[in-house]
Each structure stands twice: as C-alpha cells, then as structure tokens.
Amino acid sequence: MISVFSTELILSVNVWERCGIRNMKMKRFLSVLVASFTLTVALAGSKSQSKEQNALTNTEGTLSHIPCESAFFKTLEGWEVPAKWSETPGSDMSERVMHATTKSPGVSLDVKVKNKRTIAYRNAPDSVIEVSWSEPACVASIAYVPHHVPQNAFTDADLKKLLAQSARHHSSGIIYFWSPHMNYSVTGVKEMKKIAHDMHLEVTFLLDPKAALNLNKQVQREQNFPNAYMRTVESRELLDRHIMLHFPSMVLYSNGKLMSHWLPGYKQPAQARNILKGEFYAAK
C-alpha cells in the first residue's frame, strides 16, 4: 500500500504541473488528497475480497481448541460461514453450545462440544444435517433428518409472505408467541390484540409447537380463540431468535423487515404500549 501511495504522489505532482497549478503547497495538498483516495479504494477492495476468509478466521477464534478441530473446519468450509457466533448454556457445565445464523433465510448452525466429541448441526426449514466427530479417530458420522412440518404451521414461507405484505403496505406489526402452559401468555393474547388495534399495528399470534394438544384444545375452548391463533411456529428464522426460551415473547417487524430485538416476558398493557412505541419509533 505504501508503494501505491508514493507512486500516486509523484504522478499527481506532475499532473498538477501540466494543469497549470504552480503553487507547491497546493500541488502537495492535492497530491496527498488523491493518494489518500487511492489508498481508501484499495483497502475497500481488499476487505471485499477477504470477507469470507475473515468470517472463517473469526469462527476459528470462537471455536478454537475443540475436539477434532481440523475435521470440523473442513466441513464448515463447505457450508455458509456465519460472521458471528453466540454461546448459549449447555445441558451442564461440561457442555459448550454455540449458535449462529446465516444470510440464507431460515438456515442456522449449532455446535455442541462435550468431553471429546464435537457435533455440528445445519438447520434448514426442511431438514437438519448432523455431523459429529469423536477423538481420537475424528471420523465423521453424518445423519440427515427431514423436518416434517405439521399442517397449518407457520413456516419460513409464511414469514416471507407476511414481510412482503408489510413492505408493500409500509406497515408495522407484532408476532406474538404464546403457550397454554404459561398463564400470563394466554392473558396477553387478548390484551395484545387490543393494543395492536389501538396502535394500528398488525398482529400475528403463534402457538408453542411443543405444547400439549389436549391443553391447546382446552384453552382454545375456554378463551374462545379462533383457529388463526392456534398455528404453531415452525419458522426456523423465528425459532433462531430464541423465542422458545420464554412465553410470551414478541418479535416486531416494520416495512418488510424483522427488527433486531426479541422481547421476552409478559408486560402490563400500559408498559407494553410504551415499549412498542419506543421500539417502532427507534426503527424509523
């Protein structure tokens, strides 16, 4: 980069001379300006070329010193490399669990490390690919698990349609996740319907996919919920936002895009209104 800077500096001094600019200070100022621009463009090109490489380097830093590390990274090179990983609690203190989303809608990666074993999962809307390695042999064991989506579930395709509609109408809305096992989340359904109506927001209610079927029917009957409220969430894009950790929770969207915040927990109506006002105001 220094050689580019020096060459450009010399050339541009000659150019200003031919253009009739005689003042030496002005020539040097303009030369440095041109050279700085050249350096900026060169750096930008370099960053673009090494973007995927940097992502893999960052990944290696996050997941270093794991069992069968070399075999794991060879597999990861064939998958889409996430730029950022987050660590979540494992089943016990000896287990590490890492999670990352990719640029492909509904596709995410999970890595579990325990004892002398590493397991990688590629989660897609229609399937899960599981690859595991155990020391000392580090021979890959591969499993393909198709994902059977229940009828009437809310999938990534449904989410795509919802966001496309939001983009067309320049609208904003709430995706509210509830479970019959969590009383406050049931209470929040009717409250959130009224809040959304008052604030001119769209609202979609999605059910805990692991809830007991008999309890679902009981709560629907007692609360007089329409069938639209009984769709289970099967969207990988939404599940990757940790919505299963707590019911109720919300994910917001505006102008065709999901907002970054996951909002867990029941809120009293007045508090919920204030939070929503703040979130949508910040998104403008």
Domain shared by 104 and 192, yes or no: no
Establish if 178 belongs to a structural domain. Answer: yes
- Tell me the helices (H) and strands (E) count for the chain, helix number first: 9, 10
Domain boundary among 111, 146, 181: 146
Domain shared by 217 and 121, yes or no: no
Please give the pLDDT value at position 190: 96
Please give the pLDDT value at position 38: 40
What is the distance in angstroms between the CA of the first residue and the CA of the last residue of the chain? 40
Spatial separation of the C-alpha atoms in residues 40 and 84, rounded to whole Å: 26
Q: C-alpha 157: how far from its chain's center?
A: 16
Please give the pLDDT value at position 58: 56
Q: What is the CATH number of the domain that holds 188?
A: 3.40.30.10
Establish if 32 belongs to a structural domain. Answer: yes
Note down the domain range covering 12.
Answer: 2-49
Establish if 69 belongs to a structural domain. Answer: yes
Please give the pLDDT value at position 138: 93
Please give the pLDDT value at position 22: 53
Give yes or no for a contact between 93 and 138, defined as CB atoms under 8 angstroms apart: no
Please give the pLDDT value at position 1: 36
Q: Cis ω on the peptide bond leading into residue 136 (within 30° of 0)?
A: yes
Neighbour-count burial for 34-58, b at 16+ CB within 10 Å, e otherwise: bbeebeeeeeeeeeeeeeeeebbee
Q: 249-254 and 172-178 as β-strands: parallel, antiparallel, unpaired?
A: antiparallel
Domain shared by 37 and 13, yes or no: yes
Domain shared by 170 and 245, yes or no: yes
Establish if 137 belongs to a structural domain. Answer: yes
Establish if 128 belongs to a structural domain. Answer: yes
Q: How many domains are there within the chain? A: 3
**Residues in the chain where the model's pLDDT stays below 70:** 1-62, 83
Please give the pLDDT value at position 60: 58
Question: Tens digit of pLDDT for each residue in 85-137?
Answer: 888 777 788 888 888 888 887 788 889 999 999 999 998 888 899 999 999 99
> CB within 8 A of 251, min separation 6: which ones?
174, 175, 177, 238, 241, 243, 258, 259, 262, 263
Establish if 58 belongs to a structural domain. Answer: no
Closest residue by Cα to residue 97 from 74, 126, 119, 129: 119
Establish if 55 belongs to a structural domain. Answer: no
Domain shared by 226 and 207, yes or no: yes
DSSP code, position 261: E
Please give the pLDDT value at position 221: 97
Domain shared by 91 and 206, yes or no: no
Please give the pLDDT value at position 146: 87
Does the pTM of the predicted model rise above 0.75? Answer: no
Domain boundary among 99, 123, 146: 146
Establish if 256 belongs to a structural domain. Answer: yes
Domain shared by 168 and 276, yes or no: yes
Domain shared by 140 and 209, yes or no: no
